[in-house]
Amino acid sequence: MTTFKGIRGTTIEVLSSDPSNPELGQIWYNSSSGTLKGYKFVGTWASGGNLNTARGALRSTGTQTATVAFGGYGGSRSNATENYNGTSWTNSGNMNTARSGSGQAGIQTAALAFGGFVPPVQTSSESFNGSTWTSTPSMNTARYYLAGCGTQTAALGFAGNPGSAPFYTNITESFNGTSWTTNPANLNTSRMQLAGTGTQTAALGFGGLAGSATGATESYNGSAWTSVNSMNTARNALSGAGTQTASLGFGGYAPNITTATELWNGTSWTSNPTGLTTARAVSGGSGSQTAALMAGGFVPPASPAFSAATEAWTGYATKTITAS
């Protein structure tokens, strides 16, 4: 009789607890629970705790269980700041400047907000220490609906709407914790309402609005932008999470508000079979490709209706294997 050991050359590992960092496809027997388990791709969204202030065009940064969300529009420009602990949101210190459509970088306890719309279109930036905001040096080019990534002291801001025709820009700026510098390299596709992930020297920009919704994707190495494979669903006002080689894109207008979710592997995008629970756009996105968070946004049928909903994405997870 053929056995698992004969095929794979080993028996199934017996462990008293689940491994902390399992490998994709790994199978083990948990002797404490008496269950056979495996680590597999799940690819699902589930509801989390609602924001205290419903709004769209907000920004968020951090991890799935430690995110800060700030700014936005919920009938008026908001300076509201909320911290998420994986279960619920808690109000924190307000921003100095109420704004929507800003860029973002950093983590929950060391975040950066820059640009945005008050009105007018902003160059101002602020840093957050987990409880309070402090004004920091301004950007060189005013814009809103730009993308951002990186850390509080090594951030990247790119593209956006400068507030005048043609309403799209390809300008890139970097922040070193002290000042903003306009980078020589511009994006290949000028746009606004795109998503950005990664670091200051290894970034990814995708989707956006450039006359119409686009799926254009570009990779940045710290000195130049390179056009790579486009998203499967062209869209603008989407959210993103992850790194330059492992990103998640979700929601947005395509042209109607969509639930579509896609994964980037450094080369190409793959559409996930299931999307968001609630279609929405201009939401806060944070986390990683394996554990992301989406907060707030605009939802149909009103134009727009403001959402307080939060959804958590599970890319990979330990699952109990049922034999029959």
Q: Could you tell me the CATH number of the domain that includes residue 168?
A: 2.120.10.80
Chain segment 41-93, per-residue pLDDT in tens = 789 999 999 999 999 999 999 999 999 999 999 999 999 999 999 999 999 99
Does any domain span residue 322?
no
Average the pLDDT over 120-124 and give the result.
Answer: 97
- Whether 119 and 248 share a structural domain: yes
Chain segment 217-243, per-residue pLDDT in tens = 999 999 999 999 999 999 999 999 999
- Whether 166 and 214 share a structural domain: yes
- Residue 283, sorted as left (phi over 0), alpha (psi -120 to 50) or beta, turns out to be beta
- Whether 143 and 278 share a structural domain: yes
- Report how far residue 147's alpha carbon sits from residue 96's, in angstroms, rounded to the nearest whole number: 20
- Whether 165 and 24 share a structural domain: no
Q: How many domains does the chain have?
A: 2
Average pLDDT of the chain is 93
Looking at residue 8, what is its pLDDT? 47
Tokens of 153: 């002291």
- Whether 263 and 220 share a structural domain: yes
- Whether 189 and 290 share a structural domain: yes
- Whether 230 and 161 share a structural domain: yes
Residue 247 has pLDDT above 90, yes or no: yes
- Report how far residue 67's alpha carbon sits from residue 293's, in angstroms, rounded to the nearest whole number: 8
- Whether 68 and 94 share a structural domain: yes
Looking at residue 317, what is its pLDDT? 67
pLDDT over 70, % of the chain = 94
Looking at residue 33, what is its pLDDT? 84
Looking at residue 7, what is its pLDDT? 44
Average the pLDDT over 196-205 and give the result.
Answer: 98
Looking at residue 321, what is its pLDDT? 72
Chain segment 284-309, per-residue pLDDT in tens = 999 999 999 999 999 987 667 999 99
Looking at residue 15, what is its pLDDT? 85
- Whether 171 and 106 share a structural domain: yes
Residue 194 has pLDDT above 80, yes or no: yes
> Do residues 79 and 96 touch, judged by C-beta distance below 8 A?
yes
Domain around 26: 4-33
